[in-house]
Amino acid sequence: MKLNGYIINTYWFLVASILLLSYGLRVSGLTSESLWIDEGYSLALATHGIKEIVQGTAADQHPPLYYILLHFWLLPNQSVFFLRYFSVLIGVLGVAGAILVGCSLLNRKIGLLTGFLLACSPMHIWYSQEARMYILLSVELTFSVYSLWRLINSSNRFYFYIYLLSTLGALYTHYFAGFVIIFENLIVLCWALKSKRNFLGKWASIQGMIFVAFAPWLPIALYQALYHQMKWIPPLTIETVLSTLVLMVCGDSYRQVPPLAFIIGEVLFIVGIIRGLWRALNTKKQYFPFLFVGLWFTIPLSTIAIISQKYPIFQPKQVLFLVLPLLMLIAGALVELPVVQQWITLGMMSVFILISLANLYTLNTKHEWREAAIYIEQSWQPGDLLYFNPAAGALVFKVYAKGPFPIDGYPPGYDVVKGGWEGNPVTPEMAHKIMSGFSAQYKRVWLIEFNPHFWDPGGFLATWLDQHSQLIVDQQFQGIRVRLYDFKNKVKK
């Protein structure tokens, strides 16, 4: 290709186009929805010092690296756009990594198609627009697996350092990195048994370095696993796994498409992918790379699913790091298909992705904290108390409402540095003690609830207020209920 007399390499032109597309899709509508509670936690913790960040993550359920990086990123600007923009850039880097891995393991055609599919992936875009650590984990594990591939195919020490840094970074970002490390060790063991290269000694030294570097955090990780279990995650079902696989490939369009049309489209797509993979695996040159990618996807997913039978840990967001190997398998299958079937299969996938992208940019799916904050700020009067259940809701509220509001919540004394795992569910006696004290101090109380079942499954806070004050506002926002009670007109009981 020629442009203004200069020769432009088609490959690099396509790479640049895919990266520009990925950036555009990720930055579009970045602040159209409010922060939700976990993003508010990220912002609140990252604005503390490094010592407090380490203390806060130790009191929570994740390692500290994401929050430390976010801390330095937010030094010049703490706006919502800048907060989420950190994930946007990481997501684009992930697309670049996908192209690199696809080209290295298979070929340029598959690498470019993988990058394109990931650039348009609704699930990848979603978490590239969210101020959480999942997109960072995905990118770190991409480079971890890529450097492993290069290590077993060459003796370049550069990839030794890339593997060490990316794998250690992944462990200090999220514990699910361990599932990919299991895959990597199994691959190295199987490969070493068939290879003439003496690689196991070097590999053992790498794993030893990672263990030593992670050892200071290991006691905290064990404590979190024992006492900070994610009890809100439901038991794993086949339906959950299947819906997650669909989400990873084409987003949430299955919720809008008529069931029969979706089933027909999925059958056509699956038949095409299976045929393409069969053709690819019958090509001797591509057998090991395809097997490598297949195990990269199936071993971590199977391990998580097995553990979830006893300890539920399976959530779609936590397997984001497996979207890349899944899309790489799909890209590899597509290029092996006859042209007609190739276009039919890709067409089915494209329709579902486009519907999901339309949903992503037009539907409001996050909790409406911005809208709730604006409403309360406009209606608040001196003598009012804002009471949050759970108390962590104040983290997001304060991002959008800057007034001098008295704020309290349950559990009392909640702080991101101290953590939010201590306390007991509200009882009628506790509700009476809390609210009767407020009735003597304030004229009105705003009860602001999201997921109130965590700490007040019996609804005792609202029950006490209904019995001892007058309800004058009951406003619903997405995921949030706002009620205003007036103590001046108390109900006589």
- Contact present, 257 and 355 (Cβ < 8 Å): yes
In this model, does residue 1 exceed pLDDT 70? Answer: no
Which residue matches tokens 């591509």?
286
pLDDT score for 197: 67
Split at pLDDT 50, 70, 90, the class of 196 is low
Split at pLDDT 50, 70, 90, the class of 408 is very high
In this model, does residue 472 exceed pLDDT 50? Answer: yes
Q: Supply the pTM of this predicted model.
A: 0.93
Cα(334)–Cα(343) distance, integer angstroms: 9
Cα(327)–Cα(316) distance, integer angstroms: 16
In this model, does residue 226 exceed pLDDT 90? Answer: no
Backbone angles phi, psi at 405, to 5 degrees: -85, 130
Tell me the per-residue pLDDT of 246-280, one tens digit each, with 9 for 90 and over. Answer: 999 999 887 777 887 778 887 878 888 888 888 77
User: What one-character-per-residue DSSP string does 168-198 give?
Assistant: HHHHTT-TTHHHHHHHHHHHHHHHHHH-SS-
In this model, does residue 73 exceed pLDDT 80? Answer: yes
Distances (CA, A) of 97 to 74, 93, 114, 292, 402: 25, 6, 10, 17, 40
pLDDT score for 8: 57
Omega into 390 within 30° of 0, i.e. cis? yes
pLDDT score for 489: 66
Cα(446)–Cα(428) distance, integer angstroms: 19
pLDDT score for 202: 86
- Whose CA is closest to 474, among 355, 375, 328? 375
In this model, does residue 493 exceed pLDDT 70? Answer: no
Q: What is the mean pLDDT of residues 455-459?
A: 94
Token pair in block for residue 293: 């990618």
Q: Would strands 480-486 and 444-449 be described as parallel, antiparallel, or unpaired?
A: antiparallel
pLDDT score for 492: 47
- Whose CA is closest to 33, among 317, 360, 366, 362? 366
Distances (CA, A) of 469 to 434, 443, 474, 486: 14, 10, 14, 6
In this model, does residue 426 exceed pLDDT 90? Answer: yes
**Which DSSP symbol is given to 422?**
-
Split at pLDDT 50, 70, 90, the class of 394 is very high
Tell me the per-residue pLDDT of 332-345, one tens digit each, with 9 for 90 and over. Answer: 999 988 888 888 88
State what percent of residues in the chain have pLDDT above 70.
96
Expressed in angstroms, the distance from the first to the final Cα of the chain is: 84
HSE at residue 277, side-chain half, CA atoms within 13 A, is: 15
Cα(178)–Cα(196) distance, integer angstroms: 28
In this model, does residue 86 exceed pLDDT 80? Answer: yes
- Contact present, 178 and 295 (Cβ < 8 Å): no
Most confident segment among 31-35, 289-293, 411-415? 31-35
State what percent of residues in the chain have pLDDT above 90.
71
Which residue matches tokens 């759970």?
390
Tell me the per-residue pLDDT of 165-194, one tens digit each, with 9 for 90 and over. Answer: 999 999 999 999 999 999 999 999 888 877
Q: Which SS3 state, helix, strand or coil, does residue 476 take?
A: strand
User: What one-character-per-residue DSSP string does 325-346 give?
Assistant: HHHHHHHHHHHHS-HHHHHHHH
Cα(301)–Cα(223) distance, integer angstroms: 24
